[in-house]
Amino acid sequence: MSRPVSVSMPQPWISFCIIVKNEQQNLPRCLSSVRSYVDEMIVVDTGSDDNTIEIAQQYGAQVKSFEWCDDFAAARNFAIAQASGNWILTLDADEELLVKSEAWREQLMSSSAESLAYWIPLLDAHQPMTALPTIRLFRNLAELQYSGRYHEQITYQNQYIPTNFIQSLSCLEIRHYGYRDDLLLHKNLTRNIPLLERLRQQEPLSLLLLLTLGNAYLRTEQIDKARNCWSEAFERLSPHLLLGELPSETVRLPALLFILGLDLLHEQQDYETAMLVCRRGLEWFPDYPPLNHLTGSLMQELSFPLAAATYFEQCLAMGRQGRYFQREPFDLNFLTVWPACDLGYSYMALKRFPESVQAFELALSFQSDYEPAQAGLESAKQQLCQIRR
């Protein structure tokens, strides 16, 4: 059932909805990117004290006010309740819409009734990350609502939207500008950490939010507090790790397992528990490159270079074939320079120096100034020279 629409005016086809606070730096870029592709723009302000509202009005947006209540889902649901179009497009203020083909509107018009929403790839403007498919375009139906006070998700009848009701829209992309280090530091200190800690006082955080809070503390160099979050997440995961039962909370679970395993391996040097995390992680997410790379690093640390090499080769193969886990973004270096370089060191440990040279050269073909590969290549060539004398 669609939301009520006034009969006195022609119904818009696409409504753009956004929630903002103090976004005068980002909002012009965002609104400029969507203005010519949508039929109405609705900007919901949650308490700006800069020029955000004036900028939104200059771009012809309808501006509504919402009293902030530490609940992103509530704010977004208020925003989409104002929309009168058949479809709703949403972005964050620090994002912009990239249109590869203007035929996307026609694709919406020809959508089957079963199509409730579309995946749009989200790309980071500052870091070499894989794209994250995200639902930012969906039908204007009362049954489609946001849930979750932080890291809110669009749901259908209070459940995640069944995947067979979601289509892909490859002619659109979203570019995100908010992960620049200085911007993240300010946002984590002034918004994310205080908000998540307030939520934590009220109820246990989900695994997703524990990961988010831990990462926020890590990025602000509060390592002990980050480890506290990871420890809580690990305790929650322990029964699943021991029994091999996939938890019901799987959103960002691959990234959480990677973070836990990384800390166990390099900081705590608890190789047995790190092995358990890697084992279960690869059972549940076998094509997630960071977990493959982490397992290879663990094998290296345990002096099993042949086993390590197989995991690094798997990362490179996933990169060549373009076949890897698509629902969790990760650094593209996990497909290229990092496994190639570590493969070189694995071959060195096996005294397979010609293959080691090839692996280091491959790493440098991805990043010519990568110092570990430069040092490894020099060492491998020296070993080869000594053998041939």
What digits encode the pLDDT tens for the residues 9-26? 567 899 999 999 999 999
Q: Is domain 14-176 classified as CATH 3.90.550.10? A: yes
How many alpha carbons fall within 13 Å on the CB side of residue 295?
Answer: 27
What's the one-letter identity of residue 342?
Answer: D
Intervals of CATH 1.25.40.10 along the chain: 181-388
Range list of β-strands (E), 84-215: 87-90, 95-99, 117-124, 132-139, 144-147, 153-156, 159-160, 166-168, 172-176
Intervals of CATH 3.90.550.10 along the chain: 14-176
The rounded Cα 312 to chain-centroid distance in angstroms is 23
What digits encode the pLDDT tens for the residues 116-125? 999 999 999 9
What digits encode the pLDDT tens for the residues 170-229? 899 999 998 777 778 888 999 999 999 999 999 999 999 999 999 999 999 999 999 999
Give the closest residue to 296 by CA, choosing from 347, 346, 255.
346
* pTM, rounded to two decimals: 0.90
Q: What is the mean pLDDT of residues 76-95?
A: 97
pLDDT at 108: 85
How many C-beta neighbours within 10 Å does residue 273 have? 16
Angle between helices 337-349 and 289-301 (to 10 degrees): 20
Q: What is the mean pLDDT of residues 137-160?
A: 95
The fold for domain 181-388 equals 1.25.40
pLDDT at 389: 66
